[in-house]
Amino acid sequence: MNMRNLLENKNIEVITENENMSNIQPWAITSGGFNPVILKVNDEDFESAKKVIEDYENGNLNLEINKTEK
């Protein structure tokens, strides 16, 4: 699961920058380096997004499972 999915599952809208660079120049994409993929969120979602990322990094992420009724 990637960070974008985690944020979107918490109803946080995410815009990605440089997402398609790996298709154009795969050698130019490195983790945190030259032309990394950048996730952007709205200002009003920033604190919530930061909390989701911190929980993920600290291993405190609880996945919610919804049961469907038959």
Backbone angles phi, psi at 18, to 5 degrees: 70, 20
Tell me the pLDDT tens digit for each residue of 33-65: 566 678 899 999 999 999 999 998 888 876 666
State how far the Cα of 4 lies from the Cα of 53, in Å rounded to an integer. 10
Kindly tell me if the per-residue pLDDT of 7 is higher than 80: yes
Structural contact between residues 56 and 3, judged by C-beta atoms closer than 8 angstroms: yes
What tokens were used for 23?
């298709």
Backbone angles phi, psi at 40, to 5 degrees: -120, 140
- The domain limits of the chain are 3-57
Query: Among candidates 49, 51, 48, 27, which has minimal Cα distance to 38?
Result: 49
